[in-house]
């Protein structure tokens, strides 16, 4: 048997890309590749790209430029671009960077083994189709190596919402849910290999409607069934749309002990005029009432969200309504961004807000969100939480893990191992983490 080839994957963006990169590595494992953590000695380099952030494509081209000396030194090195930029740019990537050997979209990476065979034969390989077959079904089973205590599990892909600022419907396609039996089988396999917490992933995960016993399963039904798996201690899900938070999913937060009290539920803006322009199909008031219902089901739940400031047409009055919504909801975590246009989306064609105004609004919003986040963290001091420990801390003698609320918590490591789930009393609050002692 020949020497194993080395594969370097650089992953950008969301947790779904992290999951996809794992599966791409597994797909190419059947071709004799093993992972390496540096491009310098790789036989194949794959960039798994994300199209959400500003100038995403340009950053990919810049990264590819850095690999030119490696390619010149080792002409047999194969370079590929995967993910959402690959889907959006297609042949343009190969035109601008002729050294690229393969381009594969996020729905086609199960075809990587055949593409790899083609490029080893000297051909170029491009696949950005939306194939009819289920890529997950066509991938080889995960190798039976042990896993860390947490894992991502994609259950749904694509989005039918067509928000005016978003490229996901164009790069990931229409909403598709994996059959419940396959999700359950993969979850059981992960638990057998040491996973204690699973995060269910989807571009719009709470729209999940997977074929299952007795008809289509909702996300709430899936969560309730997963909770019956012995050894699976924690369940999370992300990312959700407010319009798909149905009654049963809200109830599950109060009824399913293994479903963690953390919910990422983006609203994007607090102005109904801007929400309509964004094609969000909900109002600020309906979002606030929804949060109230969720908190009635699970009073201690930590709410996280996303905001875009400076969307085309946003006035200072619109922005003040966003600040007002933030004050009413009180977020424990949040992500906020300046609007930046995505080619091909409706909002990209509209008149833009002045960049200096966008900068100022983002600064003011982030100051408010940071204050709220600190208040939530500081209020944890003196409370007991359950922490799933994942890795050593930055300081010697520490272990770090996540609480039920997704806060990072560090404690003295004596007697602790990776995968331990222990009760911790919080004793200190820092900007991005909590400190505590074992109970």
- The DSSP-derived string for 143-159 is P-----SEEEEE-EE--
Give the chain's radius of gyration (CA, Å).
23
> How many whole angstroms separate alpha carbon 400 and alpha carbon 149?
12
Residue 310: closest CA among 273, 339, 281, 331 = 339
Tokens standing for residue 323 = 């600040």
Can you name the residues that pair with 35 across neighbouring β-strands?
Answer: 7
Instruction: Collapse the DSSP code of 300 into the 3-class scheme (helix H, G, I; strand E, B; otherwise coil) and give the result.
Output: coil
Residues annotated in the binding site, as ranges? 14, 50, 84, 159, 163, 166
* CA 224 to chain CA centroid, nearest Å: 22
Do the bridges between strand 234-238 and strand 302-309 make them parallel or antiparallel, or are there none, so unpaired? unpaired
The kind and range of the H/E element at 39 are none
The DSSP-derived string for 384-402 is: EEEEEEEEE-SSTTEEEEE
Q: Are 383 and 365 in contact (CB under 8 A)?
A: no
CA distance 246 to 226: 18
Q: Which residues are annotated as a binding site for [4Fe-4S] cluster?
A: 14, 50, 84, 159, 163, 166
Phi, psi of 403, rounded to the nearest 5 degrees:
-80, 175
Cβ–Cβ under 8 Å, residues 199 and 222: no
Provide φ and ψ at 257, rounded to 5°.
-60, -35
Contact 119, 100 (CB under 8 A): no
Q: What is the per-residue burial (b if ≥16 Cβ within 10 Å, else e) of 180-213?
A: bebbbebbbebbeebbbbbbbbbbbbbbbbbebe
Q: Which residues make Cβ contacts (< 8 Å) with residue 319, sequence separation at least 6?
A: 271, 309, 361, 364, 365
- SS3 at position 321: helix
Looking up tokens 């407010």 gives 242
Q: How far apart are CA 389 and CA 432, in angstroms?
A: 17
For the chain, how many residues are written? 439
Q: Are 111 and 154 in contact (CB under 8 A)?
A: no
Q: Starting at the earlier edge strand, list the strands of the sheet with 234-238.
A: 150-154, 197-201, 234-238
């Amino acid at each position: 048997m020949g020497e194993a080839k080395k594969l370097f994957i650089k992953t950008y963006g969301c947790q779904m890309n992290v999951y996809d990169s794992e599966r791409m590595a597994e797909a190419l494992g059947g071709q004799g590749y093993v992972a390496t953590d540096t491009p310098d000695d790789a036989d194949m380099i794959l960039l798994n790209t994300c199209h959400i952030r500003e100038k995403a494509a340009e950053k990919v081209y810049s990264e590819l430029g850095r690999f030119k000396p490696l390619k010149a030194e080792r002409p047999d090195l194969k370079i590929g671009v995967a993910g959402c930029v690959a889907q959006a740019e297609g042949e343009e990537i190969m035109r601008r960077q002729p050294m690229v050997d393969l381009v594969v979209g996020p729905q086609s990476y199960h075809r990587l083994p055949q593409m790899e065979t083609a490029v080893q034969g000297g051909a170029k390989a491009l696949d950005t189709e939306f194939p009819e077959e289920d890529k997950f079904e066509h991938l080889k089973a995960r190798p039976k190596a042990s896993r860390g205590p947490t894992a991502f599990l994609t259950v749904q892909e694509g989005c039918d919402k067509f928000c005016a600022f978003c490229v996901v419907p164009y790069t990931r396609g229409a909403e598709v849910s994996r059959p419940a039996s396959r999700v359950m089988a993969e979850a059981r396999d992960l638990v057998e290999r040491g996973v204690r917490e699973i995060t269910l992933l989807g571009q719009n995960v709470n729209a999940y409607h997977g074929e299952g016993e007795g008809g289509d399963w909702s996300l709430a039904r899936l969560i309730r069934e997963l909770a019956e798996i012995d050894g699976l201690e924690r369940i999370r899900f992300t990312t959700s749309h407010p319009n798909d938070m149905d009654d049963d999913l809200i109830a599950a937060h109060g009824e399913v002990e293994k479903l963690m009290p953390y919910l990422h539920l983006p609203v994007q803006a607090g102005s109904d005029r801007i929400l309509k322009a964004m094609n969000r199909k909900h109002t600020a008031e309906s979002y606030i009432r929804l949060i109230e219902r969720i908190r009635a089901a699970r009073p201690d739940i930590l709410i996280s969200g996303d905001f875009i400031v400076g969307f085309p047409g946003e006035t200072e009055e619109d922005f003040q309504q966003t600040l007002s919504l933030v004050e009413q909801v009180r977020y424990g975590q949040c992500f906020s961004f300046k609007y930046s246009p995505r080619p091909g989306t409706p909002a990209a064609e509209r008149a833009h807000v002045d960049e200096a105004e966008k900068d100022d609004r983002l600064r003011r919003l982030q100051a408010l969100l940071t204050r709220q986040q600190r208040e939530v963290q500081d209020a944890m001091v003196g409370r007991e939480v359950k922490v799933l420990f994942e890795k050593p801390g930055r300081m010697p003698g520490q272990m770090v893990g996540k609480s039920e609320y997704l806060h990072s918590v560090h404690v003295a490591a004596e007697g602790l191992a990776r995968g331990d789930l222990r009760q911790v009393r919080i004793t200190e609050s820092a900007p991005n983490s909590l400190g505590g002692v074992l109970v």
